């Protein structure tokens, strides 16, 4: 019996096996060394054995003997045979244990009794199958099992299915979840790749802050030694300070905290912000174009590199492919109002868009321009924060913008006021206590270049790109007013 | 007067200029349109003008007329001439305003009076200089100024130098700070590039958590609606849950919070963690090798891509180049003890290393092996957390490791106990209340692969790579028990 595959530590196994009906192989079984529960891997040995990935089990490997580690996805015993489906992330393969020279009756029974979700090591021969196996990603081959050892046992098999689905660890093992989060990892990477290519610098901004920069609403309080502090609602002040410190073009990816009691499909109390801030030369559209192009590069990269993931999610949640234009469509707020009014919506010039109006506008834009992604520019000044730069000619509008995917907002941004005197005027106009934002205003007293930026919600981008309907599907461990676990 | 360069909005300028002695150009000045304070850039226009980067001002551009935007770094008036040094991040160039056909006496005076740190737009001719300019990064050319306009005025010139240095925005503008944080951005990018190349997936883990996983010491409390919660001391539980959820190899970069009242050169209450967790086949050294190779790829990438930054920092903080071996040196704890004892340190077999011993060991290792980076493996079980996997043969030692740069710890890691029964035993042995870690232990009841990982402190890696002496130099906005601002 070569290598570590021998169930040598029966003492320990008995302990580990306490809650389970699996018996050690009987002494008179001719296949007794070919199956069993392995001792816990405690880094005893470093065998040379190569574990083949399930996604690499193709016709090219036909008739090779391979070792594979995977989870028992399903198992079905049928007379002298047991069919297993072995899973690794999004990929799975059929494995057959059949009574014969390698497997005894007892070994087939052992295989059939392994709890689903347990992890097993299998040695087997890759065999071409005459007919494609419909239920598996590896459709052209199956594994003929010669050895099977349990590496880690699923020990709560009596728990019902509902409880399992409530438990995120198990839910994250499904093909759909695996695909969603592999794609989300890709969004972050594409975002950074694109921005680093454009000369941006990544920054790290503090999350514990001493003052609530936007006046104190919806902010979480932290006890900080003998005093108290807040959790940052956005990295905006710090991004702007980096611009004032001449970093020129910066981005960051990090948690953003909102103590908002919103229980909707698209609000979380903690989400991941993809943030951009950039000094510009003459016009904030220089920044808008950089951000929009970054989004376009992300969409293209996802199409090119994540087709498998997109198709996997589409199987469970069918959805039209995401459409976008290049360059990105930029509509002015007043044009959007005209489109909405034509569709029967009554709205004032300086009124903000409601969520239903945003969704309707998304449909109207899709019909007219055939795009799921667009920029809405030049919002009324009245509906934007005090630090938003007013338009140079029309005091009722502002140099600000949102970006939308499938009719839902994913980014909010603006040219920021970089002049301390105008910033003071605007804060007073909004009735904000100057004392509370003193350090913010002071940041601009050392010479500040004109700049603009925006913040993107990662979970929303993932959700809307894939056409999902709840941001909790795209947050690994979502936080909302009612959920803090796992 | 073409484009936006005309100081047209004198009304606004007068307001902005309130605290400053700068006068608008007199009407009888023949150069009056060639200088002044510009109206605030509010995205009025989109001129075609190209702003050349200072680092691109080389002999190849000799005799070209260029526009440059930069900060006034220094200024020195001398008769009919004014020498300015114009700065952009780490780069600077000399600019000369001299009375002649383009510049009047008043214009030279205006230039000389601009507060340092103000941002200016300059049009000028690039001229080769007969002798290298020692104080500038662009040594072979200077700019002969034909127009100079102030874009944003430094308005607190009366504040003393100490106050300025206390103010991070100004401090971050220095060449050293610019170099430090450009290099730090590079560390993050190299970390991710390497791991994504190795098949790792980036994950996002929550920072607000419901239970303090390691028993409740040194944790910040957050008020969470009507209840309370904690700030995560590390993403470890969540990384491990991702392994249990079959993500196989994961990493994350994010803030880590420690409510520790440590006021040392290397402790922060909030720092950036570069975290890795990985399922392995047979031995945790598979993971140790991946992590060590990732560090080596970072060191190599910094050498290749960030020479300018390294040299800039070395000018202010001289230091020997960082040395490392490939593959990385791995010492066992007992070997290190023997080296320390030989050097006169008295230590027991199961005692942890003190900070001075770590530093001494770093020097001994450097002398013997000529490396600033090494792994210390197989720590005594007694000095590691309860979730550390014991060695399979010697119950006094463990499958755990630290990594060191220039004698200081930058990573701590281990094979984790993935068996819920052994985990329970270990927690009881450490006197930990099982109720408080129930959800942690339960995560391993659904079948968990053997796995190991570690967490790296970004600020420490930056500090030690560059041979700096305080982690506050490598955190943009450091947080410690006494500092929460800016």
Q: How confident is the model at residue A16 (pLDDT cuts 50, 70, 90)?
A: very low
Q: Report residue A6's pLDDT band, with 50, 70 and 90 as the boundaries.
A: very low
Inter-chain touch B446–A71, beta carbons under 8 Å:
no
Q: Does B158 touch chain A (CB under 8 A)?
A: no
Contacts A188 to B, Cβ<8 Å: 202
Q: Which residue of A41, A71, A220 is in closest CB contact with B447?
A: A71
Contact across the interface for B247 and A178, Cβ inside 8 Å: yes
Q: Is the pLDDT of residue B453 over 50?
A: yes
Taking CA–CA distances from A118, the nearest residue in chain B reads B447
From A43, which residue of chain B is nearest by alpha-carbon distance? Answer: B283
* Cβ pair A43:B420 closer than 8 A: no
Of these residues, B267, B285, B305, B330, which one is catalytic?
B267
* CA–CA min distance A270, chain B (Å): 7
Res B21 pLDDT > 50: no
Q: Are B449 and B243 in contact (CB under 8 A)?
A: yes
A123 belongs to the catalytic site: no
B401: Cβ–Cβ under 8 A, 6 or more apart, which residues?
B288, B375, B376, B377, B378, B379, B412, B413, B414, B454
Distance from CA of A181 to the nearest CA of B (A): 8
Catalytic site includes residue B258: yes
Structure confidence at residue A34 (pLDDT): 94
pLDDT for A165 = 42
Tell me, yes or no, if A460 is annotated catalytic: yes
Q: H helices within A263-381, ranges in order?
A: 285-305, 307-316, 333-342, 355-369
Give the model's pLDDT for residue B213.
59
Question: Looking at chain A from residue 295 to 354, which residues have their Cβ under 8 Å from any Cβ of chain B?
Answer: none
- Whether B16 sits inside 8 A of A419 (CB atoms) is yes
Q: Cβ–Cβ of A152/B447 closer than 8 Å?
A: yes
Check CB contact of A474 with chain B, cutoff 8 Å: no
A80/chain B closest Cα distance in angstroms:
27
Lowest-pLDDT choice from A20-29, A298-307, B152-161, B306-315: B152-161
Q: Parallel, antiparallel, or unpaired for β A208-209 and A35-37?
A: unpaired
Instruction: Name the active-site residue from B34, B71, B144, B266.
Output: B266
Question: With an 8 Å Cβ cutoff, are B399 and A43 in contact?
Answer: yes
Residue A444 in this model has a pLDDT that exceeds 60: yes
- Whether the per-residue pLDDT at B158 is higher than 50: the answer is no
The residue that leads in pLDDT, B167 or A125, is A125
Is some CB atom of chain B closer than 8 A to the CB atom of A77? no
From the candidates B260, B289, B332, B408, give the one annotated as an active-site residue.
Answer: B260
Q: Give the model's pLDDT for residue A20.
A: 43
Q: Do A247 and B208 touch (CB under 8 A)?
A: no
Chain A positions in Cβ-Cβ contact with residue B40 (cut-off 8 Å)? 418-419, 422, 450
Q: Which of B189, B225, B227 sits opposite A196 (nearest CB)?
A: B189
The active-site residue, picked from A193, A260, A270, A289, is A260
The strand pair at B141-152 and B91-98 is best described as parallel
Inter-chain touch B201–A208, beta carbons under 8 Å? no
Mean pLDDT over A431-435 rounds to: 87
pLDDT for res B78? 87
Name residues 371-390 of chain A within 8 A of B (Cβ).
389-390
Q: Which of A142, A146, A277, A409 is catalytic?
A: A409
Catalytic residue, candidates A16, A267, A285, A330: A267
CB proximity B261 to A under 8 Å:
yes
| Alpha carbons A105 and A112: distance in angstroms, whole number | 11
Q: Looking at residue B483, what is its pLDDT?
A: 86
Q: Is the pLDDT reported for residue A352 higher than 60?
A: yes
Amino acid A345: pLDDT: 94
Contact across the interface for A202 and B188, Cβ inside 8 Å = yes
What does the pLDDT read at residue A156?
54
Query: Residue B446 above 90 pLDDT?
Result: no
pLDDT of residue A166: 63
The reported pLDDT for the residue numbered B11 is: 39
Chain segment A101-124, per-residue pLDDT in tens:
999 999 999 999 898 888 999 999
Contact list in A for residue B281 (CB cut-off 8 A) is: 49, 51, 69
Q: Chain B contact for A168, CB < 8 A?
A: yes
- Catalytic residue (one of A142, A146, A460, A475): A460
pLDDT tens per residue across span B372-382:
999 999 999 99
Is B73 tagged catalytic?
no
Nearest-CA distance B480 → chain A (Å): 10
Pairwise CB contact (< 8 Å): A449 & B151: yes
pLDDT in tens, A164-190: 446 788 889 988 999 999 999 999 999
A118 close to B (CB below 8 A): yes
Average pLDDT rounded to a whole number, residues A448-469: 96
Distance CA A50, CA A378 (A): 59
For residue A115, the model assigns a pLDDT of 86
* pLDDT at residue A2 is higher than 50: no
Mean pLDDT value of segment A355-367: 96
Q: Report the range out of A30-39, A83-92, A294-303, B76-85 with the highest average pLDDT.
A: A294-303
Chain A residue whose CA is closest to B173: A245
Interface touch A446/B270, C-beta < 8 Å: no
pLDDT > 70 fraction of chain A, expressed in percent and rounded: 92
Cα A467 from Cα B3, distance rounded (Å): 46
Interface probe with B: pick from A41, A52, A301, A418, most Cβ of B within 10 Å: A41
Q: Which residue of A has its CA nearest to B121?
A: A281
pLDDT at B2 over 50: no
Which pLDDT score is estimated for B210?
86
pLDDT-wise least confident of A91-100, B317-326, B440-449: B440-449
Residue B460: pLDDT band (50, 70, 90) is: very high
For A42, which of B189, B389, B475 is closest by C-beta distance? B389
> What percent of chain B is modeled with pLDDT above 90?
73
State what percent of residues in chain B have pLDDT above 70: 92
Q: How much is the ipTM here?
A: 0.85
Distance CA B318, CA B154 (A): 32
A203 near B CB under 8 A: yes
Kindly report the average pLDDT of chain B as a whole number.
Answer: 90
Q: By the 8 A CB rule, do B245 and B237 touch? A: no
Q: Which of A115, A204, A483 to mutate to test the interface with B (most CBs of B within 10 A)?
A: A204
* Contact assignment for A223 to B225 by CB distance below 8 Å: no
């Amino acid at each position: 019996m070569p290598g570590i595959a021998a169930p040598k530590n029966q003492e320990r196994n008995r302990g580990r096996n306490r809650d389970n009906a699996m018996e050690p192989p009987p002494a008179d079984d001719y296949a007794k060394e070919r199956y069993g529960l392995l001792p816990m891997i405690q880094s005893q040995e470093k065998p040379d054995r190569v574990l083949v990935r399930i996604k690499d089990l193709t016709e090219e490997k036909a008739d090779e003997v391979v070792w594979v580690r995977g989870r028992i996805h399903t198992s079905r015993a049928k007379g002298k045979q047991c069919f297993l489906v072995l899973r690794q992330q999004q990929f799975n393969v059929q494995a057959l244990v059949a009574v014969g020279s390698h497997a005894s009756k007892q070994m087939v029974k052992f295989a059939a009794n392994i709890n689903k979700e347990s992890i097993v090591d299998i040695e087997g021969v890759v065999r071409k199958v005459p007919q494609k196996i419909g239920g598996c990603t590896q459709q052209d081959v199956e594994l003929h099992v010669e050895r099977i050892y349990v590496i880690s046992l699923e020990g709560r098999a009596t728990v019902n299915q509902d409880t399992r689905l409530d438990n995120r660890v198990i839910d994250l093992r499904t093909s759909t979840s695996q695909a969603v989060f592999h794609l989300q990892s890709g969004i972050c990477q594409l975002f950074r790749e694109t921005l680093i290519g454009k000369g941006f610098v990544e920054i790290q901004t503090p999350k514990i802050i001493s003052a609530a920069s936007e006046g104190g609403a919806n902010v979480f309080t932290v006890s900080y030694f003998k005093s108290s502090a807040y959790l940052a609602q956005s990295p905006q002040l710090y991004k702007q300070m980096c611009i004032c410190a001449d970093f020129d073009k910066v981005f960051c990816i990090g948690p953003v905290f909102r103590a908002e009691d919103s229980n909707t499909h698209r609000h979380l109390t903690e989400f991941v912000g993809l943030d951009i801030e950039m000094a510009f030369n003459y016009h904030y559209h220089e920044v808008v174009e950089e951000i929009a192009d970054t989004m376009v590069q992300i969409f293209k990269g996802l199409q090119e590199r994540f087709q498998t993931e997109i198709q996997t999610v589409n199987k469970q949640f069918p959805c039209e492919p995401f459409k976008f234009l290049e360059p990105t469509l930029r509509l002015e707020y007043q044009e959007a109002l005209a489109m909405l009014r034509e569709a029967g919506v009554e709205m004032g010039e300086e009124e903000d868009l409601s969520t239903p109006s945003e969704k309707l506008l998304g449909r109207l834009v899709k019909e007219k321009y055939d795009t799921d992604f667009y920029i809405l520019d030049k919002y009324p000044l009245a509906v934007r924060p005090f630090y938003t730069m007013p338009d140079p000619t029309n005091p009722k509008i502002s140099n600000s913008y949102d970006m939308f995917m499938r009719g839902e907002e994913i980014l909010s941004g603006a040219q920021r006021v970089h002049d301390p005197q105008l910033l003071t005027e605007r804060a007073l106009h909004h009735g904000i206590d100057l004392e509370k934002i003193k350090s913010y205003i002071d940041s601009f007293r050392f010479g500040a270049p004109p700049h603009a930026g925006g913040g993107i919600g990662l979970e929303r981008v993932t959700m809307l790109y894939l056409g999902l309907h709840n941001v909790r599907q795209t947050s690994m461990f979502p936080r909302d007013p009612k959920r803090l676990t796992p």
